[in-house]
Amino acid sequence: MKRSGEHPARPLPPGPKGLDAARFLARTTRDFKQPMMDMALEYGEVAHVRNRRRDFVVVSGHEAARHVLIGNQDNYRKGLEYELLRIVLGEGLLTSEGELWRKQRRLVQPMFAKRYLKNFTAHMTRATAEALDGEPFAGLPEGEVLDISEVMMALTLDIVGRALFGADLSGATARKVGPAMNDVLGLGTRMTRRLPTFVLANLPGMNLEKAISVNPEGRRFQRALADLKEVIDDLLEERSRQSDTGDDLVGLMLSARDEETGETMSREQIGDELMTFMLAGHETTSNALAWTWRHLSLNPGARDRLFEEVDTALGDRIPDMDDMEEMPWTRACVEEAMRIDSPVWTVGRQALEDDEILGYRIPKGASVMVLISMIHRDPRIWPNPEGYDPTRFLPENAKGRPRHAYMPFGAGRRVCLGSTFATVEATLLAAMISRRLRFDLPRGAEVEAEAVITLRPKNGLPMHVFHRQPDPVPDEAPEPDLAAV
């Protein structure tokens, strides 16, 4: 694969033209994911379509993805799809670019080093133990139906609150944050894709934010965003009043100083980062768990093996980081769920200069969508790609597989900052919950996926809840060792 600008004469990648292109583009205003997947299936691992203003390139093979995200990453910035996220997250780590991003990443990355994870893990397991012994599971009649997607959402939000913000994001706050997050992601994505929004946003003096605000759904979106910002503001207000800034992520940011200038982070920048962690840190992991529960319910053999593993590895102990090694099957169950239903199904980039991928020309300015979902279903690497088979992720079977054939956390310098946090969290939660409960999909239930920014169950995930065994966990979950941070 050549570097930027070396081969402007190469052909564009294959793709729909004329009426076919118009039909394809019309479909993307209703649903983005399926038309992209169809295009990849029809035209191959690098495909192209153009509307009147812009080139779109769909990348669905691991080699081409590697080129965009790693090999020639300097030629790509975050794509237009991040425009909506920028309204929500401002200039946080996920959305910022250049020097600001570099400075923030340098500052925050050390917080996610393995040595700090032990402390985070204590928060994860404590929150889970409380959910199992209290809201929403304790005393639940056998077979009662709960929306497991909603339960996972509340639990992972609670964990982000405790581990990263030192705050209580459960109870009333979770009841405010959950629906607000839904509106921000759901309404925001739907509105952004609508043709009138697109046309309006491109008029002189307009932008996406202004275009969104002109209709009632847009105003609901803005109210939801204001609710989220209020939660963050309150949290920052409370923390700024405390004389000791504390040693979690918020504390670190409040006391951080730029090595060169000695400047502290502005309140606005800290707010953007907190919003980023609130969103990036819980919605994705929650969806990973939701899809895991769905696949396990449909694959009783895999689930029985998981029950056996956690019964043996944990007994009635509360797990910690070291238990990860004892639970390879549980981890594999989560990883295989993330292969089939990758919580982040695509990452978008924009080409800064002409480039060449697999012999095709990528024009400057093109929107490049890396379809993680398709890479994860490449039949050359994943035989029977639709089949749920956690054995693929047992260490002995992963040998020899191209490294980037699996990339739920992205790749390159913008790779997920919370990948280890999320893998540990999802595995330990799956283990602790499976020790006590079994979730069954109602007979014949169809679970549809909705591709908003993340891939999540469209109408929630109602499942019957059964208690596996009544043994209580010990009364006292271990106190998190906050001194370790």
Binding site for ligand HEM (CB under 6 A): 93-94, 105, 276-277, 280-281, 284-285, 288, 343-344, 347, 408-410, 414, 416-418, 421-422
Q: How far is the CB of 93 from ligand HEM (least distance, A)?
A: 4
Closest CB to ligand HEM among 47 and 347?
347
Q: How far is the CB of 451 from ligand HEM (least distance, A)?
A: 14
Closest CB to ligand HEM among 148 and 347?
347
Closest CB to ligand HEM among 100 and 195?
100
Closest CB to ligand HEM among 95 and 222?
95
Closest CB to ligand HEM among 116 and 277?
277
Q: How far is the CB of 245 from ligand HEM (least distance, A)?
A: 20
Residue with the shortest CB distance to ligand HEM: 418
HEC letters along the chain? CCCCCCCCCCCCCCCCCHHHHHHHHHHHCCCCHHHHHHHHHHHCCEEEEECCCCEEEEECCHHHHHHHHHHCHHHEEECCCHHHHHHHHCCCCCCCCHHHHHHHHHHHHHHHCHHHHHHHHHHHHHHHHHHHHCCCCCCCCCCEEEEHHHHHHHHHHHHHHHHHHCCCCCHHHHHHHHHHHHHHHHHHHHHHHCHHHHHHHCCCCCCHHHHHCCCHHHHHHHHHHHHHHHHHHHHHHHHHHCCCCCCCHHHHHHHCECCCCCCECCHHHHHHHHHHHHHHCCHHHHHHHHHHHHHHHHCHHHHHHHHHHHHHHHCCCCCCHHHHHHCHHHHHHHHHHHHHCCCCCEEEEEECCCEEECCEEECCCCEEEEEHHHHCCCCCCCCCCCCCCHHHHCHHHHCCCCHHHCCCCCCHHHCCCCHHHHHHHHHHHHHHHHHHEEEECCCCCCCCEEECCCEEECCCCEEEEEECCCCCCCCCCCCCCHHHC
Q: How far is the CB of 262 from ligand HEM (least distance, A)?
A: 24
Q: How far is the CB of 344 from ligand HEM (least distance, A)?
A: 4
Q: How far is the CB of 212 from ligand HEM (least distance, A)?
A: 22
Closest CB to ligand HEM among 369 and 473?
369
Closest CB to ligand HEM among 231 and 416?
416
Q: How far is the CB of 398 from ligand HEM (least distance, A)?
A: 18
Q: How far is the CB of 140 from ligand HEM (least distance, A)?
A: 26
Closest CB to ligand HEM among 160 and 191?
160
